[in-house]
Structure 1
Amino acid sequence: MDQTNPTSTIIAADRTRTAASHCLELFGGSISWGVVMAASALAALYLRNGLLTSHLTALALVYFLGGALSWPIMVPLARRVASSRPPSARFAAFFLALSLGTTAMTAFLFAMDYRWFYARWHAPFGSLIWTFQFLFTGASAVYQFAVLGVTLFMPFGLLCLIATSAYLARYER
């Protein structure tokens, strides 16, 4: 009959608990960051034109998903880069990772929505013309997002980015 070492069982249970804690922390941070980015976009739209747009739900969803999908990629990356560094370097790593990651993910989602709209006029999938159309439609969507969409992050998103980066830099494990 096999004997189980109680110490290894305790260690395995502790590791499982730690891994679950990290996953929940990452998931919670992802949802929170998505909500903050959507709220920032909605606040900017409110200040700009009183939320008078027919695409309010779609915009809120794109900004929410941009924040929520960038968090689980960029925060662990910044943690790996910033581990055992001074707090100022950790702050810079989190600030850079979250700002670039959130902007890039939101621009990507905007480009895919843009592409979905123009797909009905594009050539058949996989052709050379389709490839050019896909690339240039995506590039023009990212440019349009850079000019018009990034401004929706500015009034409150920047403040939240600074506060979140400072919090993550201070309480890094």
Structure 2
Amino acid sequence: MRQRIASARPPLPGLLVGAVAWGLLMAAAALLGLYLRFRLQTAHLQELMLLYFAGGLLAWLVAVPVGRFLAFRRSPETRFAAFFLTLTCATILATAFLFAMQYRLFYSQWHQPFGTRIWVLQFLFTSASATYQFLVLGIRLYLPLGLVFLIAASVFLARRMR
């Protein structure tokens, strides 16, 4: 178990460079998705690019160590699957979380004071509705380019961890 945990810790410089690269790739995928669907006709292009970049950055920081933990001493196919799964889930969850917090920040002006029972319900339902909205509308911005990046990154990570 100690070897597995030790192997899950990638070198910090590589992890940080990978996080920035993954964030840029996810922003590029969203940019292409916005171009293909709406010809970039949105008033919030910079905010959306920042959101997808930050989601990708945070996702890489979580997905790579978890993927390395799951892929320890496994076959190349299993390593690929571990990284594919962790990168997919972490990228979607991190970006959805950031979207929900931005959504929550906007609606907080109409919510009850912090810590009250009503505030907790408002926080939960606002966050849940924002996450649902992201899952319905936001994930498709990753396609088609995000899937290509995901496969390439999973292959790269699986080969790198021999």
Please give the range of the TM-score, normalised by the shorter of the 2 chains.
over 0.9
Aligned mates of 1:145, 1:72 — CA distance in 2: 21
2:100 to 108, 111, 115: 111
| TM-score after normalising by structure 2 | 0.93
Aligned mates of 1:73, 1:163 — CA distance in 2: 18
Runs of 4+ in structure 1 deviating by more than 2 angstroms, as ranges, are none
Matches within 5 A, 1:39-54: 39-54=28-43
Could you tell me how far 1:118 is from its partner in structure 2?
Answer: 0.2
The structure whose Rg is larger is 1
Matched, 1:100 2:101: no
Aligned mates of 2:41, 2:61 — CA distance in 1: 32
Could you tell me how far 1:43 is from its partner in structure 2?
Answer: 0.6
**Please, what is the CA RMSD of the aligned residues?**
0.9
Any unmatched runs of 5+ in structure 2? Answer: 1-9
CA offsets 1:75-105 (integer angstroms, 9 cap, x no match): 0111011011000000000000000000000
- Structure of greater relative contact order (alpha carbons < 8 Å, 6+ residues apart): 2
Could you tell me how far 1:47 is from its partner in structure 2?
Answer: 0.8
Could you tell me how far 1:22 is from its partner in structure 2?
Answer: 1.1
Count residues with an aligned counterpart.
Answer: 153
Matched, 1:84 2:73: yes
Matched, 1:29 2:13: no
1:170 to 139, 151, 159: 159
Any unmatched runs of 5+ in structure 1? Answer: 1-20
Q: Residue 122 of structure 1 aligns to which amino acid in structure 2?
A: H
Aligned mates of 1:82, 1:107 — CA distance in 2: 26
Aligned mates of 2:38, 2:134 — CA distance in 1: 18
CA offsets 1:101-143 (integer angstroms, 9 cap, x no match): 0000000000000000000000011000000000000000000
Which residue matches 2:112? 123
Q: Residue 167 of structure 1 aligns to which amino acid in structure 2?
A: F
3-state SS in 2 of match to 1:28:
helix
Aligned mates of 1:45, 1:129 — CA distance in 2: 37
